[in-house]
């Protein structure tokens, strides 16, 4: 008789949610996530959501690997970015059939963000947009005023007005020109002057703040690392991006080398130090501007007339071996829907859904009253290039390390003397060997 009783809790389908590959492990986040689980479980009687939070971001990959290997993979994993997801490539469920079956509205998200989650062959949709961190340009208001320069544009296609009144395209060539005016040495000479001494720089014009080489490359246009035949490419536009950066560091001296970045002048957080005039980064960099003098936002510069603003994105994934894909999708849409604003707030993310974006910006505006151009953030989403700059390729983690080794070489103290084209050829060859190890 007892077995026939309607024990509601036992009849629920249990869905597990694993947290830790990305953010979500600090005390405040745990409290909000636990509340979200309680609210979901109280909202209906068919699913029991159970959360499993790793002790830290460092331990989470091993824990998830163990769960998968033991046949006990969680149903949902996240929030997690592209890089964290790529460490478990091949483990994620294609959401397209569930979206079609339920009529889930993809139109609520910007199309380019949805496309970023498609598989390399375009046939699978492996995630949905949740938290985004658009690529923007930060600029130091006081340093522009001191140099008598106009501020960078806040809209694509608007020219930059030079001090003599001439209008020029807002692109990376213009960044060099005004960057040299904004780069100053201890004797008061700027980098346009023959007397300028780069060994005594006290102020730089520009930095790719806390960048990766692939995000730098994608500011000059996006592409896949590996083509359909398995061949690695360092595309011509990526070579131009590398050339631009090398000259910015070693010829024009507007971008600090790694030694300068870690120096007492820039303290490892260059733009925040107040001694760099412009920084290309993503919106997450607002995390770390507590000491920065008054700053504002502009659109990123264009390359050959087009703005390519790499964007970082976090979301939740469903594991391919889930025994309950429909119920897992119900939970996923809850996290992206009713629970989204609370989770985005505690994660510090910017909503992919436009109707939530005003509330997210209001919180940042209260923290940074000097910023007038918050509308640049939403506008920059449309400039996010596809494919994503952390798009997967075979032997991803090892390949990413090789990319970063190149960036370190370029900006190291010996970077001025490298044969850049030869090093780019070597990078391409090394990446091909890395990819071939697992082909």
Matching residue, tokens 């994934």: 317
pLDDT, position 10: 63
User: 276: which strand partners?
Assistant: 204
User: 302: which strand partners?
Assistant: 171, 307
155-182 pLDDT tens trace: 999 999 999 999 999 999 999 999 999 9
Matching residue, tokens 């091909």: 432
400-433 pLDDT tens trace: 999 999 999 999 999 999 999 999 999 999 999 9
Q: Rounded to an integer, what is the distance from CA 387 to the centroid of its chain?
A: 13
Query: pLDDT: is 361 or 261 the higher one?
Result: 261
Contact 164, 385 (CB under 8 A): no
| pLDDT of 3 higher than 50 | no
Instruction: Quote the pTM value.
Output: 0.89
182-217 pLDDT tens trace: 999 999 999 999 999 999 999 999 999 999 999 999
What does each C-alpha distance from 275 to 263, 272, 281, 291, 385 come to in angstroms? 12, 8, 16, 11, 30
| pLDDT of 4 higher than 80 | no
Task: Tell me the C-alpha distance between 57 and 64, whole Å.
Answer: 11
> pLDDT tier at 256 (50, 70, 90 boundaries)?
very high
Q: What is the DSSP string of 316-360?
A: EEEBTT-S-HHHHHHHHHHHHTTTHHHHHHHHTPEESSGGGHHHH
Task: Tell me the C-alpha distance between 202 and 313, whole Å.
Answer: 35
What does each C-alpha distance from 29 to 38, 40, 78, 162 come to in angstroms? 14, 16, 13, 46
Report the chain's C-alpha Rg in angstroms. Answer: 24
Task: Tell me the C-alpha distance between 230 and 216, whole Å.
Answer: 23
Angle between helices 357-367 and 340-347 (to 10 degrees): 30
Task: Tell me the C-alpha distance between 140 and 279, whole Å.
Answer: 9
8-25 pLDDT tens trace: 446 899 999 999 998 899
Between CA 107 and CA 115, with CA 109 as vertex, the angle to 5 degrees is 95
| pLDDT of 439 higher than 90 | no
Task: Tell me the C-alpha distance between 264 and 313, whole Å.
Answer: 32
pLDDT, position 5: 44
Calculate what percentage of the chain has a pLDDT beyond 70.
98
Calculate what percentage of the chain has a pLDDT beyond 90.
88
Nearest to 36 by CA among 272, 347, 382: 347
| pLDDT of 370 higher than 90 | yes
381-406 pLDDT tens trace: 999 999 999 999 999 999 999 999 99
| pLDDT of 2 higher than 50 | no
Q: Rounded to an integer, what is the distance from CA 380 to the centroid of its chain?
A: 13
- Dihedral, 423, 426, 431, 433 alpha carbons, nearest 10: -160
Average pLDDT over residues 273-281: 98
336-346 pLDDT tens trace: 999 999 999 88
Contact 281, 139 (CB under 8 A): no
Q: Rounded to an integer, what is the distance from CA 115 to the centroid of its chain?
A: 16
The residues, ordered by sequence, that sit 6+ positions from 197 with a Cβ below 8 Å of its Cβ are 185, 186, 187, 189
């Amino acid at each position: 008789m007892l077995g026939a009783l309607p024990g509601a809790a036992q009849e629920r389908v249990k869905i597990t949610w694993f947290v830790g590959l990305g953010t979500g492990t600090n005390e405040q986040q745990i409290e909000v996530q636990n509340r979200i689980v309680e609210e979901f479980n109280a909202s209906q009687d068919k699913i029991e959501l159970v959360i499993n939070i790793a002790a830290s971001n460092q331990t989470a990959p091993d824990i998830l690997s163990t769960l998968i290997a033991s046949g006990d993979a969680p149903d949902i994993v996240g929030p997690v970015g592209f890089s964290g997801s790529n460490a478990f490539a091949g483990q994620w469920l294609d959401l397209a059939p569930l979206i079609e079956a339920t009529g889930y509205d993809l139109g609520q998200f910007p199309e380019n963000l949805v496309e970023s989650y498609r598989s390399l062959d375009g046939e699978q949709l492996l995630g949905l947009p949740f938290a985004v961190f658009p690529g923007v340009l930060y600029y130091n208001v006081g340093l522009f005023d001191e140099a008598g320069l106009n501020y960078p544009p806040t809209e694509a296609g608007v020219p930059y007005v030079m001090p003599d009144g001439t209008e020029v395209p807002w692109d990376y060539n213009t960044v060099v020109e005004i960057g040299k005016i904004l780069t100053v040495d201890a004797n008061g000479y700027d980098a346009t002057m023959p007397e300028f001494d780069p060994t005594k720089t006290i102020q730089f014009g520009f930095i790719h703040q806390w960048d990766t080489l692939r995000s730098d490359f994608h500011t000059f246009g996006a592409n896949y690392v590996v083509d359909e035949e398995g061949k690695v490419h360092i595309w011509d536009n990526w070579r131009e991006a590398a050339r631009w950066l090398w000259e910015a560091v070693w010829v024009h001296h507007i971008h600090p080398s790694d030694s300068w970045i870690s120096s007492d002048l820039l303290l490892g957080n260059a733009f925040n130090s107040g001694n760099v005039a412009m920084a290309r980064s993503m919106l997450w960099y607002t995390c770390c501007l507590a000491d920065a003098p008054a700053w504002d936002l502009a659109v990123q510069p264009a390359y050959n007339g087009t703005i390519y603003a790499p964007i970082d994105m976090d979301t939740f994934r469903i594991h391919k071996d889930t025994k309950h894909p429909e119920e897992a999708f119900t939970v996923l849409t809850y996290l992206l829907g009713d629970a989204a604003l609370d989770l985005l707030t505690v994660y510090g993310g910017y909503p992919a859904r436009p109707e939530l974006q005003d509330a997210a910006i209001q919180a940042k505006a209260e923290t940074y009253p000097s910023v007038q151009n918050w509308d640049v953030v939403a506008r920059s989403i449309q400039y996010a290039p596809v494919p994503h700059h952390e798009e997967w390729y075979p032997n991803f983690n090892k390949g990413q390390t090789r990319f970063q080794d190149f960036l370190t070489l370029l900006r190291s103290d010996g970077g001025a003397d490298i044969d850049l084209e030869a090093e780019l050829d070597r990078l391409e060859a090394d990446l091909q060997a890395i990819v071939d190890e697992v082909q």
